[in-house]
């Protein structure tokens, strides 16, 4: 009987291997068989062990593409096509790293259509949490070219980074995508590290029992199904067809999408909105986009009796196609609120757009509104991928035989409620992942949390940012300061190209020799009091410090927060002139210490300074 050859999914057609380094190339066949590999004019030979595992050491290879690898055992021959040697990067974290190009098309409308570069490729690691043991191989996956429909599902940060890098050096770029939306840092750490930090949960043994997960998932699925079924049944608007154009809503209340609603309409349950508008004559019959921004939580949206779209959770923008603009348009929105504070986000655009023209839906007429049901707040869904160690075992450990150029990380939103040990865990994560890839000098670049209001991001983002900064104590790390790049009303800001550019600059700085914790903007290092003056000293990484108008810092004194705004710039220091006889030594001074701060201090290329909390000495 013929034996077979199994090649790991990471190494199949279209794979990108790390250039200029020795690479491992491995697989499985019959036990104790000779296996050969031929590519270009290189012939390699090895023998499988008793379990059938074989391993080649591929000599370092310069950047190239379009290579076929021919692998043969005693009785089987396979060909792996279009293998490249280039630079390979791991994308880690949660939803802001994961946020795919299709979600960014309003911000970058032509990007997907114009993408033609098949030298940018990505591999999406299956989101498979494992708790029993560290996995050696992935169970599925494939390399995809970052063009056409494939590009729609690629991380925007990853794509824009790869595009900029390729344009500069013409080297193929491979992206290994591991980010999982909503994932906390504990999911990305091993059991050994959590135990070392005394943070291993007591229920770890239960996690290793698959029946435990199945039971929780079934209970949760039953709850979610029952909740949704009852929610639908109790909506009087569905029963009475409030979406119909001929429905009479004259006695309904009036609200505005760009203004705060009464609390009555923000509580959990179903709320309906209606608006009738007249389209300009020259636009009748045109295709259009209905843009309603984002909502908390789910919606079904109708135009002239027809459902044009609906999304069942809060984050994606509501952008729905209207096939033909008619003279009169009746828009009906069924808004399903599952949390305590629901509604349509007032600061987003609410428009109909077509052929460069816009119909504003935030006019003086407002919208008609009526509550169709009240309902209890829905419990959060259970996700096994959020449990400790699962994603490390299932998604990171199987990558350990690869060689890569760097790791990019955007995560922390899910840990802001419990920030106190984040810096310690994050530093351990960096060290552990470098061990996984057998490279203690592997560049690790992370994005510090951007500005975002408490309503959308939760509390304690300032504290979490400070915890993230502690990772800069490790060499070969870089931090992207994203203050000013966020959106106060959105957990998922769409300007990912800005973030990718800063990641690329950090990566180049580390490769060019700045190994001692690089920051994309100025970073305050110490604060001294001399007489009635404070001096804040910054590391500016070869750039000059700049101040914008109304710069202020804050100190905590006698249980009160006091603003210090008598500020002047002296080189790469900020001098703060204090009131007479104000002794602050030992006190904490903070800058941009809030969820949603503004950019007040920059360098001379307008990159924002990192927020900070320092003790005055």
pLDDT of 1 reads 44
pLDDT of 150 reads 97
Nearest CA among 302, 184, 295, 308 for reference residue 244:
302
99 with 196, same domain? yes
Instruction: Name the burial class of residue 617, with classes exposed (0-12), middle (13-18) and buried (19+) by CB atoms within 10 angstroms of its CB.
Output: exposed
CATH code (residue 466): 3.40.50.1110
Cβ pair 452, 417 in contact under 8 A = no
User: 14: left (phi > 0), else alpha (psi -120 to 50), else beta?
Assistant: left
Helical segments of 234-267, H only: 236-239
Give pTM, 2 decimals.
Answer: 0.95
CATH code (residue 345): 2.60.120.260
Does residue 176 belong to any structural domain of this protein? Answer: yes
446 with 535, same domain? no
515 with 547, same domain? no
Segment 489-547, tens digit of pLDDT: 999 999 999 999 999 999 999 999 999 999 999 999 999 999 999 999 999 999 999 99
394 with 510, same domain? yes
Does residue 404 belong to any structural domain of this protein? Answer: yes
CATH code (residue 554): 2.60.40
Does residue 427 belong to any structural domain of this protein? Answer: yes
Q: Which domain holds residue 362?
A: 236-374
333 with 407, same domain? no
Of 347, 374, 401, the domain-final residue: 374
Of 325, 343, 374, the domain-final residue: 374
Structure tokens at 517: 């914790």
**C-alpha to C-alpha distance for 401 and 47, rounded to whole angstroms:** 18
pLDDT, averaged per 10 consecutive residues of the chain (617 residues), comes to 84 98 96 96 96 97 97 93 98 98 93 97 97 95 97 98 98 98 98 96 91 92 97 96 96 96 96 96 94 96 97 95 95 96 94 92 95 96 95 98 98 96 98 97 98 92 98 98 96 96 98 95 96 95 93 86 92 91 88 96 97 95
Q: What share of the chain has pLDDT > 70, as a percent?
A: 100
pLDDT of 2 reads 59
Nearest CA among 498, 589, 612, 488 for reference residue 535:
589
**C-alpha to C-alpha distance for 457 and 464, rounded to whole angstroms:** 12
Q: Name the DSSP letter for residue 182.
A: T
192 with 277, same domain? no
Q: Which helix (H) or strand (E) holds 91?
A: strand 77-93
SS (HEC) of 114-139: HCCCCCEEEEECCCCCCCCCCCCCCC
276 with 343, same domain? yes
Does residue 225 belong to any structural domain of this protein? Answer: no
Who contacts 306 (Cβ-Cβ below 8 Å, separation ≥6)?
Answer: none
Of 374, 402, 423, the domain-final residue: 374
Does residue 207 belong to any structural domain of this protein? Answer: no
Does residue 231 belong to any structural domain of this protein? Answer: no
283 with 191, same domain? no
Report helix angle 496-511 to 156-169, nearest 10.
50
420 with 516, same domain? yes
504 with 571, same domain? no
357 with 426, same domain? no
Cα dist from 243 to 249, 284, 342, 598, 616, whole Å: 10, 22, 20, 42, 62
490 with 537, same domain? no
Does residue 193 belong to any structural domain of this protein? Answer: yes
Domain count, the chain: 3
Does residue 68 belong to any structural domain of this protein? Answer: no
pLDDT of 102 reads 95
């Amino acid at each position: 009987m013929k034996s077979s050859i199994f090649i790991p999914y990471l190494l199949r057609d279209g794979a990108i291997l790390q250039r200029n380094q020795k690479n491992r190339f491995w697989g499985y066949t019959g036990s104790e068989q000779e296996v050969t590999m031929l590519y270009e004019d290189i012939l390699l030979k090895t023998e499988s062990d008793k379990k059938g595992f074989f391993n080649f050491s591929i000599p370092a290879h310069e950047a190239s593409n379009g290579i076929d690898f021919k692998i043969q055992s005693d009785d089987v021959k396979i060909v792996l096509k279009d293998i490249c040697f280039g630079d390979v990067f791991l994308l880690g974290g949660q939803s802001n790293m994961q946020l795919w190009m299709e979600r960014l098309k309003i911000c970058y409308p032509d990007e997907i259509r114009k993408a033609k570069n098949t030298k940018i490729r990505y591999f999406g690691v299956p989101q498979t949490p494992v708790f029993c043991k560290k996995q050696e191989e992935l169970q599925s996956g494939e390399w995809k070219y970052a063009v056409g429909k494939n590009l729609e599902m690629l991380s925007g940060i990853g794509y824009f980074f790869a595009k900029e890098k390729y344009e500069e050096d013409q080297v193929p770029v491979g992206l290994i995508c591991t980010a999982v939306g909503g994932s906390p840092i504990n999911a990305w750490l091993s059991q050994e590290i959590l135990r070392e930090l005394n943070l291993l949960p007591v229920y770890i043994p239960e996690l290793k029992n698959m029946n435990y997960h199945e039971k929780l998932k079934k209970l949760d699925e039953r709850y979610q199904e029952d909740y949704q079924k009852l929610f639908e049944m109790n909506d009087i608007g569905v029963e009475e067809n409030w979406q119909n154009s001929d429905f009479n809503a004259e006695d309904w209340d009036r609200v505005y999408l760009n203004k705060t609603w009464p609390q009555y309409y923000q509580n959990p349950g179903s709320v309906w909105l209606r608006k009738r508008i007249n389209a300009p004559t020259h636009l009748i019959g045109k295709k259009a986009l209905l843009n309603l921004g984002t909502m908390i939580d789910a919606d079904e949206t109708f135009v002239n009796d027809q459902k044009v779209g609906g999304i069942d959770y809060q984050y994606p923008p509501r952008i729905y196609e209207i096939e033909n603009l008619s003279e009169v348009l009746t828009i009906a929105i069924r808004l399903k609120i599952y949390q305590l504070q629901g509604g349509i986000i007032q600061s987003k655009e609410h428009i109909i757009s077509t052929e460069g023209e816009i119909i504003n839906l935030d006019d003086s007429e407002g919208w008609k509104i009526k509550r169709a049901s009240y309902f209890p707040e829905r419990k959060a869904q259970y996700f096994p991928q959020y449990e400790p160690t699962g994603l490390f075992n299932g998604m990171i450990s199987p990558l350990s035989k690869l060689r890569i150029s760097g790791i990019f990380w955007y995560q922390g939103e899910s840990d802001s409620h419990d920030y106190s040990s984040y810096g310690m865990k994050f530093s351990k994560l960096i060290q552990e992942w470098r061990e996984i890839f057998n490279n203690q000098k592997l560049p690790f670049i992370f994005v510090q949390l951007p500005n975002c209001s408490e309503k959308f991001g939760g509390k304690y983002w300032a504290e979490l940012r400070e915890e993230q900064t502690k990772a800069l104590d490790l060499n070969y790390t870089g931090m992207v300061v994203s203050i000013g790049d966020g959106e106060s009303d959105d957990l998922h800001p769409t300007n990912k190209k800005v973030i990718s550019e800063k990641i690329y600059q950090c990566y180049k700085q580390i490769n060019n020799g700045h190994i001692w914790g690089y920051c994309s903007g100025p970073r305050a290092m110490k604060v001294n009091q001399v007489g009635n003056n404070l001096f804040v000293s910054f590391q500016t990484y070869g750039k000059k410090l700049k101040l914008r108008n109304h710069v202020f810092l804050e100190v905590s004194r006698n249980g009160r927060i006091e603003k210090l705004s008598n500020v002047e710039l002296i080189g790469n220091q900020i001098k703060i002139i204090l009131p007479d006889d104000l002794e602050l030594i030992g006190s904490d001074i903070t800058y941009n210490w809030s969820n949603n701060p503004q950019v007040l201090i920059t360098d001379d290329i307008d990159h924002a300074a990192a927020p900070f909390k320092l003790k005055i000495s």
